[in-house]
Structure 1
Amino acid sequence: MSLTDWLIDLALIGLVVLQLRGRRLTLRTLLLPVALVGWAGVQYLHAIPTGGGDLELIVPATLLGLALGVGAGVLSRVHRTAEGAVVVRATIAAAVLWVVGVGCRLAFQVYATHGGGPAIGRFSVEHHLDPGAWTAAILLMAFGEVIARTAIVGWRALGTRRQPTGPRVLSA
């Protein structure tokens, strides 16, 4: 596991932790997580193996990432300030879901590179997994989580932008 891998994982955690207090949502802050996992995909994901038991690992991992991302997106609060800025605030539950996803991937990477490689290799042989299936599963889980959360927060931000600013006037 390289320093860059550590920095990407820690940056993904930090982005949501920073939103616990509320943070102005810009196109840059919305798309930064997508850029980070996109970079990782270009660096590490060269093919998605589909033989043996590969899809039995990859599909559930991807679905888990999507579920965590949907949960983190739905549980984040998006509102518009009186000045018209769109702000996103991650709730504790949203941050926990996000950190669970990133943390599980980080823990697996640490395990795989610090002594767990032989056990993963034996498991892979027993379950007919291509070594690239682990990379695909981890990265597609990350893509699912990031893209789902980004899409939900972005969609909610668009809806919030259409709302008028200032106090609401009730008509009789």
Structure 2
Amino acid sequence: MTTTDYLISAALILLVIPQIRGTRLTLHNMLLPVVLVAAAAAYYLRSFPTGGHDVQLYIATGLVGAILGVACGATTRLSRASDGITLARAGTAAAALWIAGMAARGGFEFWATHGGATDVARFSQDNLITGSAAWTAAMLLMALAQVLGRLAVVWLRARQVTSGTPSAVGV
């Protein structure tokens, strides 16, 4: 892993800080994680292999990411400010889910490049994964699915908050 890899991983993990402190749900705040994952994809993604069982790998990692994202969104507390803007605040569960997803990908990358390459290569060969480009695409899809899953749930729940009374909604 390079210094850039660590910085990108840290930036994605640190997105949880404004979520914990609480943030207004503006278009900018909601789309920032999507933009950061897209930037990471632009930096890392060189190909999108579809041979062997690569697509099944993408589906599996995408589902894991989506589950983490939906759970994160479902455990985010939403309320309406006096000006009608929805406020979102991640509690312990939402923050832990966010960090778990981001850290799992960073941990996998670290392990794969610091002693686990033989195991990843063996698993890939045994399961018809075409190589490191497929793993890169899978990890990026997992991150994107997590971000989009959280975004979708928070956005849907925010619509309920803005159409209701200014009381708190959520966990």
SS in 2 for 1:19: helix
Q: Which residue of 2 aligns with 1:146?
A: 147
1:159 maps to a residue whose letter is: Q
Q: Which residue of 2 aligns with 1:40?
A: 40
- Counting only pairs closer than 5 Å after superposition, residues 62-101 of structure 1 correspond to structure 2 as 62-101=62-101
For these two proteins, the number of residue pairs brought into alignment is 166
SS in 2 for 1:115: coil
- Does structure 2 conserve the Cα–Cα contact (< 8 Å) formed by 1:78 and 1:86? yes
Q: Which moved more, 1:103-112 or 1:117-126?
A: 117-126
Matched, 1:2 2:6: no
- Does structure 2 conserve the Cα–Cα contact (< 8 Å) formed by 1:111 and 1:117? yes
- Does structure 1 conserve the Cα–Cα contact (< 8 Å) formed by 2:79 and 2:166? no
1:7/1:159 CA distance change after superposition, 3 Å: farther
Q: Which residue of 2 aligns with 1:15?
A: 15
Q: How many Å separate the matches in 1 of 2:83 and 2:17?
A: 24
Q: How many Å separate the matches in 1 of 2:2 and 2:160?
A: 40
Q: How many Å separate the matches in 2 of 1:165 and 1:110?
A: 45
Deviations 1:49-86 (CA, angstroms, capped at 9, x unpaired): 22222233221111000010010011111111123332
SS in 2 for 1:62: helix
- Does structure 1 conserve the Cα–Cα contact (< 8 Å) formed by 2:33 and 2:147? yes
Q: How many Å separate the matches in 2 of 1:25 and 1:120?
A: 40
1:92/1:165 CA distance change after superposition, 3 Å: closer
2:146 maps to a residue whose letter is: E
TM-score normalized by the length of structure 1? 0.85
2:137 maps to a residue whose letter is: A
Over the aligned positions, Cα root-mean-square deviation in angstroms equals 2.0
- Does structure 2 conserve the Cα–Cα contact (< 8 Å) formed by 1:83 and 1:165? no
| Identical pairs, percent | 45
Shift of 1:16: 1.9
TM-score normalized by the length of structure 2? 0.86
Deviations 1:7-61 (CA, angstroms, capped at 9, x unpaired): 2322222222332232222221111100011112222234432222223322111
Q: Structure 1: give runs of 5+ residues left out of the alignment.
A: 167-172
Q: Which residue of 1 aligns with 2:57?
A: 57
Deviations 1:81-106 (CA, angstroms, capped at 9, x unpaired): 12333210112111111111111101
Moved over 6 A (4+): none
Q: How many Å separate the matches in 2 of 1:157 and 1:11?
A: 25
1:3/1:29 CA distance change after superposition, 3 Å: farther
Q: How many Å separate the matches in 1 of 2:76 and 2:161?
A: 13
Q: How many Å separate the matches in 1 of 2:151 and 2:8?
A: 17
1:139 maps to a residue whose letter is: L
Q: Structure 2: give runs of 5+ residues left out of the alignment.
A: none
Q: How many Å separate the matches in 2 of 1:50 and 1:15?
A: 31
2:152 maps to a residue whose letter is: A
